[in-house]
Amino acid sequence: MIAPVAFAAMALEGALGWPARLHGLVGHPVGLFARVISGSERKLNRAEWSDMARRVAGLLAMLALIAAVSASIAVAVWLVRGMAGPWAWLILAVLAWPALAARSLDDHVRPVLAALERADLGQAREAVGMIVGRDTARLDEAGVVRAAIESLAESFCDGVVAPLFWLLLGGLPGAWAYKAINTADSLVGHPEEPLRAYGWAAARIDDLANLVPARLAGALLCLAGGSGCTRGVAVMLRDHARHASPNAGWPEAAMAGVLGVRLAGPIVYDGALAAKPWIGEEGRVAGVADLRRALAIYRRACVLLALVALGLEAGVAWLA
């Protein structure tokens, strides 16, 4: 049964995150994925090749990555089950632990809130710069708040809901294949040159992998929003397509609606202004109190997700 593994992994990550000391000793599996993905891109994304050739190269690299990760994790699971017997589920939970990032995401957003509450805008810009890709050096307080809330909502899908979804659906191979896909999208799935053609497959496969989790993430944020649930659902259904991503708009629009604020809008990347549309355009400007509320909503949504895993465990046990 994978449900006890999922619940135990969530409990471990929720209690410990991924401790800095442990990271210093062994790093993180995503770091290994990143080295493989970057190395492949340097060798296969050749400027002299046509767009079609680079697109095929990117697709083959993704298929090889997914196959290698899935096969190696499947072998590890087989060995654990054969050697650990009744304790296998606990070892598998430890192996699943770093695939989740609920506590880790909370740990990255809290310093942004703490700096804003101290009125230390410089520190807040630095802290939010650790979790977003946009230029943060000139953000005002509202811009920092908006960036933090957007990252919290989007990463709820990428870092929490999607890995757990694929863990429940495909076991450890499913969860780690998803992490490899998501890492590849972050590194090479960009619409700009020189990655546009080569990273096409990474971006499209990531879109497919997040198709269901993104919508689940939006629904969980609405449910966790309490009295703002109805408004969250309305804004999510209306505005999700205003995001450039076919998936990220669902949790971001849900969070905007629950909070009653505007998210997205014009953003500066690498010195260039991207005129993105507003999500929750009739909402007010987000403030520090909204970031505090967003963190509370996020934590409740994580608890709801853990209860789903626990409910699956109880349901499977009852059916058995």
Contacts of 88 (CB under 8 A, 6+ apart): 80, 81
The answer to whether residue 244 scores a pLDDT higher than 60 is yes
**What is the reported pLDDT for 135?**
78
* Both structure tokens of 3: 């449900």
Q: What is the dihedral of CA 317, 169, 244, 295, to 10 degrees?
A: 40
**What is the reported pLDDT for 274?**
67
Interatomic CA distance for residues 239 and 249, integer angstroms: 7
* Both structure tokens of 278: 């507003």
Interatomic CA distance for residues 182 and 162, integer angstroms: 10
Mean pLDDT of 69-94: 94
Nearest to 294 by CA among 136, 121, 105, 165: 105
Nearest to 32 by CA among 155, 205, 140, 179: 179
Interatomic CA distance for residues 303 and 230, integer angstroms: 20
Contacts of 207 (CB under 8 A, 6+ apart): 245, 246, 247
Structural contact between residues 218 and 298, judged by C-beta atoms closer than 8 angstroms = no
**What is the reported pLDDT for 159?**
95
Structural contact between residues 280 and 238, judged by C-beta atoms closer than 8 angstroms = no
Nearest to 96 by CA among 168, 153, 185, 183: 168
Structural contact between residues 134 and 146, judged by C-beta atoms closer than 8 angstroms = no
Structural contact between residues 172 and 95, judged by C-beta atoms closer than 8 angstroms = yes
**What is the reported pLDDT for 147?**
93
Q: What is the pLDDT of residues 5-30, one digit of tens each?
A: 888 899 999 999 988 888 888 889 99
Interatomic CA distance for residues 18 and 14, integer angstroms: 9
Distances (CA, A) of 315 to 163, 264, 308: 21, 39, 10
Structural contact between residues 175 and 183, judged by C-beta atoms closer than 8 angstroms = no
Task: Output 267 or 74, whichever has higher pLDDT.
Answer: 74
Interatomic CA distance for residues 99 and 172, integer angstroms: 9
Task: Output 143 or 136, whichever has higher pLDDT.
Answer: 143
Interatomic CA distance for residues 158 and 111, integer angstroms: 20
Average pLDDT score over the chain: 92
Mean pLDDT of 154-173: 95
Q: Where are the domains of the chain?
A: 3-319
* Both structure tokens of 14: 């929720």
Interatomic CA distance for residues 235 and 208, integer angstroms: 23
Q: What percent of the chain has pLDDT over 70?
A: 95
Interatomic CA distance for residues 178 and 162, integer angstroms: 8
Q: What's the DSSP call for residue 159?
A: I
Q: What is the pLDDT of residues 177-223, one digit of tens each?
A: 999 999 999 999 988 899 999 999 999 999 999 999 999 999 999 99
Residue 112, SS3 per DSSP:
helix
The answer to whether residue 320 scores a pLDDT higher than 60 is no
Q: Which amino acid is at 125?
A: R
Nearest to 297 by CA among 217, 237, 235: 217
Structural contact between residues 168 and 212, judged by C-beta atoms closer than 8 angstroms = no
